[in-house]
Chains A and B, each alone.
Chain A
Amino acid sequence: MRMVKSSQLYVRRAAASCSVCGAPAVVRISYARLDLCTLHFREFVERKIARILKKTGLSRARRVIVAVSGGKDSAAMLYALASMLKKDNVELIGVHINLGLGEYSEESMKKAHELCHRVGIPCIIVELEKVLGVTVPELAKRARRPTCSVCGLVKRYILNAVAVEADADYVATGHTADDIIAYTLKEFMFQNMDGVSKLAPSTSTVKGLAVGRVRPLYEVTERESLLYSLINGIPFHHSECPYRPRAPIEQRIKEFVNKLEEEHPGIKITYIRRLERNMGMYHSWGRESSYGRCKHCGLASSGVVCGFCRLTEKVTGKPLGEKVRAWIRGVLASLRAEESLMEVRGS
């Protein structure tokens, strides 16, 4: 029986061949009417990323902070950026935040570290428990706020703080086309046009206060980023966050939009490209956001005290923004010292 089966395996042919080179295809991109082999699929994804890099000027940046969660999307993004920006001399620094969500965070941290090492970039690991003395679930519980909103606030604050301290031009995050579609449709439903305007391929920098965001996977779907990670053997942690709500709105929108895409191939990419084109308009509809400086930590704030300092003061009795900034300065200094040591050794 086994002999028969293995001979069947031997003669098994790919059902479809690559539209570009004729090799066995691993994926059909319905909207583009393409079947692609691993090589040409990789090219296809990187072409979409290159469009965003060109549009946002990322390939001309000096230094970019890359947010690495350990999941497949940020893994695919970092892997692509590291190989695509090598020739452009852009300095990439990985940042991983250990949020203190138990086993899930430990596994994510391992993968993030492994990935940064693999692509040869430094990885700053911010363990909340060590740096703040408190984890995300504890912060949320003691502040009586939803875990996801506290988590988002903490991540945004720390990424921005690292970028400001490192004098980076951009913070790159692994948001995919599916994320952007789900977030913007949700904002439309709540008629929050200001929220829509913040979901452009890039946002601008306010010197010394806030570093702009760039989303290289803006036109890459989650399925494409998963497949890209798989075919390139990129390490990632594939697991659901233990604190996610049972039925988040974004998740439901994604499922619905994917059904729509199956029936109407191309609807997602059309939406995302038109959204990009209309961003200026949503921006003008939004509130004029004028940034102030937080009186405690000195970073961007819409009020006198920023959200992070307010939260940490409420929970621990002290605003911890400046403490985080000082910790980051220390880590960056030792990173630089290590690098110059390597240079001395190398020469």
Chain B
Amino acid sequence: MAKDVKRLHVVILPDNVKKNVELEGSRVKELVKALGMSIEEVVVVREGRPLHEDDIVEDGEELTVIRAASGG
């Protein structure tokens, strides 16, 4: 059986870079890993609400990944 692939629209802040990600996996932490980032340096937000690293992402949704290690 083919693996379940989720297509996600991701906005990375503060860079304001938009990416379409095809994720083989379903959790927030897997998305962060797929972006080549560490969970220690980002907060993932859905519609203004921060997500837990184990939260499930939905196919087709838009998520914001905010990098913590910048600006300040």
Contacts and interface: CB of A to CB of B under 8 A. Distances in A.
Interface of A: 5, 8-9, 12, 14-16, 24-28, 35, 69, 71-74, 174, 176, 178-179, 221-223, 225-227, 230-231, 237-241, 251, 254-255, 258-259, 261-262
A179 B72 CA distance: 10
A18 B13 CA distance: 27
B56 A225 contact: no
13 contacts: A5-B58, A24-B52, A26-B49, A26-B52, A69-B72, A221-B68, A223-B68, A223-B69, A226-B66, A230-B50, A239-B71, A254-B41, A259-B40
B71 A15 contact: no
Given A230-B43, A258-B38, A225 B68 contact: yes
Interface in B34-72: 38-43, 45, 49-56, 58, 66, 68-72
A240 B68 contact: no
A217 B42 CA distance: 18
A222 B43 contact: no
Contacts, number: 94
Nearest to A259: B38
B52 A241 contact: no
Contacts of B38: 255, 258-259, 261-262
B71 A251 contact: no
A112 B58 CA distance: 36
B41 A222 contact: yes
A299 B38 CA distance: 44
Contacts of A240: 14-15, 70-71
Nearest to A182: B69
Given A230-B45, A238-B14, A258-B41, A14 B55 contact: yes
A255 B41 contact: yes
Nearest to A241: B71
Given A27-B53, A223-B40, A227-B43, 9 more contacts: A15-B54, A71-B72, A176-B72, A222-B72, A227-B50, A237-B71, A240-B14, A254-B69, A259-B40
A255 B69 contact: yes
Contacts of B66: 226, 230, 238
